[in-house]
Amino acid sequence: MPEDRTPQKYREQVGAYLHLAAGWRQALLPGAAAHVTPIEFELHNLLTANLAEVEVRLYVPGNVHAVRPRTQASMAANDSFVNLPNPPRPYGPRTVSLLDGGISSGLGSIARVSPFTTMPGNAPRPPMPHIDNGRSTTITFPAVHLRPHHRVRLDPIVLVVEAPAPAVITAQWWATSTSMNGTAQGQLSIPIADEPLPLAVVLTEPDAWRQRRDKTS
């Protein structure tokens, strides 16, 4: 197939692609969800009484963002974990197959499936942590029931801290229960990874990155 774009049109497509590429930072969180080991918090009821509807809110200060980890179901289905634009095809003539069902041109389409997409007909999902990302992050975990002296693990969360980052971040937490008056609160220390995770790694399929790392280690 001969090239059907003018040089100017091709330059415009490249410019549009570079403009989209400038927004690749938005892919950082879903990429981190597939690469970064999540953290989990555990609630322990020290009382002899039942604690109903225990809700925990966690505030992490600083340039921190939170995201839910990539699910096992998403990995098994090989869902695209980041939505990145396709670059424009190279300039010049090309070979196409008439059996492909059509010819595409231009910037191409963005991946249509993400690990957080709910498809019609899927079973209702259980409540998920509510994440409020801004200049810091606040996470509200779904309420859980705590029997006397029992422990319950909250949903795992991935925390992303932009470099340069401190070695430890001090977070604040609050807990309330519908069966108790008042609010329990405290602080906890969250250690930060020693080495930053490059963006090139974050945007690489986890399995491909692990294979490459195993070959070089």
Which pLDDT tens digit goes with each residue over 69-85?
Answer: 876 544 443 444 555 66
Cis peptide before 164 (omega within 30 of 0): yes
**Model confidence pTM above 0.75:** no
Question: First and final CA of the chain: distance in angstroms?
Answer: 45
Average pLDDT for the chain: 77
Strand partners, 190: 169
Which DSSP category does 177 fall into? -
Angle CA(13)–CA(16)–CA(18) in degrees, nearest 5?
110
Express as a percent the part of the chain with pLDDT over 70.
70
DSSP H or E run through 150: none
Separation CA 60–CA 54 (nearest Å): 20
Give the dihedral of Cα atoms 29, 33, 35, 38; nearest 10 deg.
Answer: 120
Interval 170-181: pLDDT, tens: 999 999 999 999
pLDDT band for position 103 (cuts 50, 70, 90): very low
Q: Name which residue leads in pLDDT, 68 or 120.
A: 68
Dihedral sign for Cα atoms in the order 61, 28, 77, 115: positive
DSSP 34-54: HHSPPB--EEE--SSS-EEEE
Which DSSP category does 164 fall into? S
Q: Name which residue leads in pLDDT, 1 or 26.
A: 1
Q: Name which residue leads in pLDDT, 36 or 98.
A: 36
DSSP 74-101: HHHTT--SS--PPPPPPSS-----TTSS
